[in-house]
């Protein structure tokens, strides 16, 4: 598919193009394995001399098409789909770090990612320094160590909704000679293009807006193809991999070295592969990503403005609002809309917030974001409950904060539901 097509066209058509007599819809190939005649062909696949499907843990046609579409949407060179967003982050980290290494991460990130870094990766000997993403370039540089292997941040923080100054972070990463990894889940590929601003690797929990219909857990890693792995800090990329008969990733795979190594080492050894069925369903979601993200953003802005004017609401946080400290960054990095997530505090604090959630009707209480149905969540008692109150506040979560994932219903119906629940909560 032509990379110069606009994003909307890439969402609809992606990487799959039917030839004469072939299915118009990207087919679901539900097969774990692939048949060969010549043992040499299989040997070549094992030695990475040729690439193709042979066993679905490493790759299969439906997943392959989905990956190529994600690479096109992000402007990367290749992509690797994973069984979840968490697996995408884990594989990215383990593809770059080993015991004794260090990473720098924004503190305003998804709670599950904070746990992965500070609990599980710590047990494996990988240390994380959490920094305020609004700090200066000098402060980012000062948090580095000789063993630092990457900088990690979310383009639009979940649930703090801070907009990342991607160019500041890319600049810091460049000066340190390490890649910038951006989790673009909440912004989506349609609204934000981190690679254009200097990010080197982009990951998604495809469970959220990519799917958009709450059917499939999944993740993806996109290789920006724009990092120099031969700068001396990443010998695993430039020295022969004996587990693949001496393959040298930079020499043999050029600007797809990162994605190839992630696939053939990490999917091989860890096995957190996306299933063909989930790739098929998530691809259906991607076909309308552009329409959904426009509508999610429009509805969220209207709801944010309405809540800001409500007598029952203490504060509203949405980067698309003029009152947001992130509005300028949002105009730069999210020019088509600030996505569908907002947070707010009901007057009366945590208890009133609790009563609000008990009284919503059209809106659902779910542990999810990015679905086409409007939903709410109370992070302090759910997704971030493992963190201390102090660490919750560091990740941008006040005790009364309610996170709203604004859906695609008629905005008047959403507003009506919020108004009646707020009235009952504050009576
Ligand atoms: C949900 C989420 C994840 C984790 O993804 P899963 O698919 O649930 O494993 C990672 N990052 C962000 C920003 C998320 O919202």
Q: At residue 378, does pLDDT exceed 90?
A: no
**Mean pLDDT computed over 164-178:** 98
Model pLDDT for residues 271-322, shown as the tens digit of each residue = 999 999 999 999 999 999 999 999 999 999 999 999 999 999 999 999 999 9
User: What span, in angstroms and rounded, lies between the C-alpha atoms of 100 and 122?
Assistant: 10
Substitution candidate for ligand 1 out of 89, 115, 164, 207 with most atoms within 8 A of CB:
207
Please give the mean pLDDT across all residues of the chain: 95
Give the model's confidence band at 132: pLDDT under 50 very low, under 70 low, under 90 confident, else very high. very high
**How is 250-305 classified by DSSP, letter by letter?**
HHHHGGGHHHHHIIIIIIHHH--BPPHHHHHHHHHHHTTHHHHHHHHHHHHHHHHH
Is the pLDDT higher at 42 or at 227? Answer: 227
Rounded to 10°, the helix 349-359/411-426 angle is 130
Alpha-helical segments (H) within 287-402: 289-308, 327-333, 349-359, 389-394
**Mean pLDDT computed over 404-414:** 98
Give the model's confidence band at 118: pLDDT under 50 very low, under 70 low, under 90 confident, else very high. very high
CB distance 60 to ligand 1 below 6 Å = no
Q: At residue 62, does pLDDT exceed 70?
A: yes
Backbone phi and psi for residue 90, each to the nearest 5 degrees, phi listed first: -60, -50
User: What span, in angstroms and rounded, lies between the C-alpha atoms of 341 and 57?
Assistant: 34
Which percentage of the chain shows pLDDT scores above 90?
A: 88
- Please report the pLDDT score of residue 398 as a whole number: 87
- Please report the pLDDT score of residue 2 as a whole number: 67
Compute the distance from residue 368 Cα to the ligand 1 centre, in Å: 9
**Mean pLDDT computed over 241-262:** 95
Model confidence pTM above 0.85 = yes
Compute the distance from residue 334 Cα to the ligand 1 centre, in Å: 20
- Please report the pLDDT score of residue 1 as a whole number: 60
Give the range among 2-11, 102-111, 113-122, 387-396 with minimum mean pLDDT: 387-396
**How is 35-67 classified by DSSP, letter by letter?**
--S-HHHHHHHHTTSS---SBTTT--HHHHHHH
Substitution candidate for ligand 1 out of 88, 116, 158 with most atoms within 8 A of CB:
158
């Amino acid at each position: 598919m032509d990379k110069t097509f606009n994003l909307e066209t890439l969402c609809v058509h992606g990487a799959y193009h039917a030839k004469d007599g072939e299915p118009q819809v990207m087919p679901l190939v539900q097969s774990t394995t692939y048949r060969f005649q010549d043992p040499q062909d299989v040997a070549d696949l094992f030695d990475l001399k040729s690439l193709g499907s042979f066993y679905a843990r490493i790759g299969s046609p439906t997943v392959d098409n989905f990956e190529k579409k994600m690479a096109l949407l992000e402007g990367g060179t290749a992509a690797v789909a994973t069984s979840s967003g968490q697996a995408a982050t884990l594989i990215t980290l383990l593809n770059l770090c080993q015991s004794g290494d260090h990473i720098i991460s924004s503190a305003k990130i998804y709670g599950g990612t904070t746990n992965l870094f500070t609990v599980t990766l710590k047990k494996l000997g990988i240390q994380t320094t959490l920094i305020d993403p609004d700090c200066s370039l000098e402060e980012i540089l000062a948090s580095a160590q000789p063993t630092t292997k990457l900088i990690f941040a979310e383009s639009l923080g979940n649930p703090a909704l801070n907009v990342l100054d991607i160019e500041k972070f890319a600049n810091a990463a460049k000066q340190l000679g390490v890649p910038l990894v951006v989790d673009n889940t909440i912004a989506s590929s349609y609204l934000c293009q981190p690679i254009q601003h200097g990010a080197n690797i982009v990951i998604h929990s495809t469970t959220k807006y990519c799917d958009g219909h709450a059917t499939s857990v999944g993740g993806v890693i996109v290789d920006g193809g724009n990092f120099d792995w031969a700068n001396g800090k990443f010998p695993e990329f430039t020295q022969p991999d004996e587990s693949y008969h001496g393959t040298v990733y930079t020499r043999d795979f050029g600007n797809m070295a990162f994605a190839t190594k992630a696939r053939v080492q990490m999917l091989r050894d860890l096995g957190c592969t996306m299933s063909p069925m989930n790739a098929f369903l998530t691809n259906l979601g991607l076909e309308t990503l552009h329409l959904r993200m426009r509508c999610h953003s429009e509805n969220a802005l209207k709801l944010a403005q309405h809540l800001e004017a409500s007598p029952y609401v203490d504060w509203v946080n949405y980067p698309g609002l003029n009152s947001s400290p992130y509005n300028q960054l949002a105009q730069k990095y999210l020019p088509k809309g600030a996505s569908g997530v907002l947070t707010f505090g009901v007057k009366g604090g945590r208890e009133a917030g609790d009563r609000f959630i008990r009284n919503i009707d059209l809106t659902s209480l779910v542990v999810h974001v990015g679905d086409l149905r409007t939903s709410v969540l109370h992070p302090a008692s759910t997704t971030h409950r493992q963190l201390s109150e102090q660490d919750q506040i560091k990740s941008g979560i006040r005790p009364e904060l309610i996170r709203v994932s604004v859906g695609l219903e008629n905005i008047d119906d959403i507003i009506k539901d919020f108004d009646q629940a707020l009235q009952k909560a504050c009576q």
